[in-house]
C-alpha cells in the first residue's frame, strides 16, 4: 500500500497536521481541512495553542467488518513567519507592549530511559 501524501493511518483513524498562521491561532477562525472525500471546515477557537488537536468523529476510514468509521485527528502547527514587513512588525510590537509575559518553569514529561 502506498503511503498517503499527508494522512497517517492507525487502524481506522486518520491523522493529519495542518499549518495555521499565528494570527489564526490567536484570533481563531475557520480552517479548511482535507478529509477522505474532500474537505471540511473546522472552526478554531481564539487562543488555539501550538500542537493542539481536534478530533473529527466519523471522518476516518470505514471498517469493512463493522461498517463504522474511525476518526480524523487534526493537529494544528502554528507557523511563525521568519520575516515580517514593516507594517507587520509594528503590529507585533503593539501586541508585545500590551501582553503579559508568562513566568515560571513547568515540569517536563518524564522521558523513558533506554
With beta carbons less than 8 A apart as the criterion, state whether 58 and 12 touch: no
CATH code: domain of residue 44: 2.60.260.20
Q: How many domains does the chain have?
A: 1
Q: How high is the pLDDT of residue 15?
A: 97
Among 31-35, 66-70, 106-110, whose mean pLDDT is lowest?
Answer: 106-110
Q: How high is the pLDDT of residue 114?
A: 55
| 111 belongs to a structural domain | no
With beta carbons less than 8 A apart as the criterion, state whether 42 and 59 touch: no
- How far, in Å, CA of 88 to CA of 11, rounded? 43
| 1 belongs to a structural domain | no
Nearest to 22, CA basis, from 84, 68, 67, 74:
84
Q: How high is the pLDDT of residue 112?
A: 65
What residues make up the domain containing 51?
8-98
| 114 belongs to a structural domain | no
| 104 belongs to a structural domain | no
pLDDT digits (tens, 9 = 90+) for 74-112: 999 999 999 999 999 999 999 999 988 888 888 887 666
Coil, helix or strand at residue 89: helix
| 40 belongs to a structural domain | yes
Q: How high is the pLDDT of residue 1?
A: 63
Give percent of the chain above pLDDT 70. Answer: 95
Amino acid at each position: 500500500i502506498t503511503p498517503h501524501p499527508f494522512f497517517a493511518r492507525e487502524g481506522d483513524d486518520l491523522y493529519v497536521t495542518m499549518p495555521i498562521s499565528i494570527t489564526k491561532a490567536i484570533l481563531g477562525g475557520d480552517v479548511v481541512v482535507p478529509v477522505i472525500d474532500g474537505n471540511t471546515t473546522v472552526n478554531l477557537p481564539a487562543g488555539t495553542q501550538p500542537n493542539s488537536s481536534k478530533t473529527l468523529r466519523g471522518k476516518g476510514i470505514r471498517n469493512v467488518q463493522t461498517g463504522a468509521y474511525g476518526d480524523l485527528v487534526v493537529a494544528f502547527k502554528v507557523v511563525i513567519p521568519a520575516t515580517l514587513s514593516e507594517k507587520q512588525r509594528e503590529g507585533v510590537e503593539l501586541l508585545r507592549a500590551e501582553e503579559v509575559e508568562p513566568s515560571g518553569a513547568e515540569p517536563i514529561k518524564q522521558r523513558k530511559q533506554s
